[in-house]
A and B are shown apart, each in its own frame.
Chain A
Amino acid sequence: MDVQEATAACRDAFAELASPACIHDPYPFMRWLRECDPVHRAASGLILLSRHADIYWALKATGDAFRGPAPGELARYFPRAATSLSLNLLASTLAMKDPPTHTRLRRLISRDFTMRQIDNLRPSIARIVAARLDGMAPALERGEAVDLHREFALALPMLVFAELFGMPHDDMFGLAAGIGAILEGLSPHASDPQLAAADAASARVKAYFGGLIQRKRTDPRHDIVSMLVGAHDDDADTLSDAELISMLWGMLLGGFATTAATIDHAVLAMLAYPEQRHWLQGDAVGVKAFVEEVLRCDAPAMFSSIPRIAQRDIELGGVVIPKNADVRVLIASGNRDPDAFDDPDRFDPARFYGTSPGMSTDGKIMLSFGHGIHFCLGAQLARVQLAESLPRIQARFPTLALADQPIREPSAFLRTFRALPVRLHAQGS
């Protein structure tokens, strides 16, 4: 059966994205959506946009044509918010705020994410990368298989976050274990047990951050948590403890699984397209091009997790999106739209060679970090982690190969992995 037949009666794209076929490869279905139902209305009433131009427009219009839900509306857009800690935390994150509150809160943390600050982190990121690769080397050199996802892709962003937040490594590894459950619980189609698991994990994160905030208050250091506690204590109206916990929770959720998945996808691209590895052996411009193309080909967050609510009736491609509709954007589909990226299923770093970050040589925006006021706060942090990792992996393990098929997390929302087993080719084989 071809894709068109299989999905001609698609009533709910979110349910379809959770199907085993889409977990394996969601892109044929996304192509069908773009071509046949680009302004999809799901059974739940959610609207899903899948064309690059529409997504780009909606992201830019956030704060104008679209808004976040007002506090009093939470129950309408998240019917289970009254009883769910995770949904309540989500409602207080930056991603759900509108200007001017959004602007004020974002600027509080922006100083730790300026290009200069992220550049200052480069040496410690490079050190963590080298140490993790050293740690994997003995087993690989003995001919054993190593799970690159767990040992490297997930460990790197965790250790970088531990440094940024001023947390002991073991605490960070403990917290991170619950992140996947929280992310799944936030999906619009999460089951009640999934949401309950998310809430249990969120409660642990909340309790931990509550304690961390107290420790940073009595013993401030040079880290994001100490800085935010300081901003909070200078002006009690600015940032409540609850908001502070939501912000830290949001950074934790946004930063880990996504960065890890992109490292995994980058390594898979290196293995699948050895003829493209030369991009990682030359200058920084080539490395950047490779990184951007990995981000384009496999957006880790496939669609937006937060509602964009139409401020008025909006006509898009002949379909009227009614006022107050909850609009989501299928970022992963926009990145594969042939109207934006020629021959979109081909892995070709040349699209991003020598360009501004995130922009193709044709002037099209790669959507994985979003666009508009909610543009990913950690975009440059993720880019630097990737740029510091990939050439070192290539140089250290030039004969890296898959030891077994990678195992994906069965998620409609995040294109992430559970395991990525690798080994070294035997010498001379």
Chain B
Amino acid sequence: MRVVVDQDLCGTSGQCVLTLPGTFCQREPDGVAEVCVATVPQALHAAVRLAASQCPVAAIRVIESDAGNDEHASADPAPSPAEAERHAAKDQRNPGGHDGTV
């Protein structure tokens, strides 16, 4: 598993750092979140998905395959809650797509 933070989206709330301080950190000059590990150890997979689903601005992307690319992630037959969250967020950005009914 790999995890990336979209630094343009990051809202600097630091919630991911509180959830997983060893995996995420904040840049000193502006508080933007960064991933401080190359790959996520198996034991932390669930916690990383949780951090992604909790990010207030959905800036954390989890790439499940180690070979990792977006297609692999979206083609996952059983998307994690974090991914479902991310796709929902994407839909909301698509005008006319999601009507907001929940």
Contact = CB atoms under 8 A, between A and B. Distances in A.
Interface in A67-108: 103, 106-108
B71 interface: no
B81 to A, nearest CB: 7
B102 A357 contact: no
B95 to A, nearest CB: 7
B69 interface: no
Contacts of B53: 363
B38 to A, nearest CB: 22
Contact of A115 (B18, B50, B99): B18
Contacts of B102: 53-54, 57, 316
B32 interface: yes
Counting contact residues on chain B (CB < 8 A from A), the size range is 20 to 34
Label chain A's interface by main secondary structure.
Answer: mixed
B18 A60 contact: no
Nearest to A54: B102
B26 A356 contact: no
Interface stretch (A264-272, A370-378, A388-396): A370-378
B89 A60 contact: yes
B54 A316 contact: no
Interface string B5-19: 000100111110111
Central interface residue in B14, B18, B26, by most chain A CB within 10 Å:
B14
A115 B14 contact: yes
Contacts of A111: 28-31
Interface string B46-72: 000011011011100000000000000
Interface of A: 53-54, 57, 59-61, 64-65, 103, 106-108, 110-111, 113-116, 311-312, 314-317, 321, 356-359, 363, 365, 370-373, 375-377, 379-380
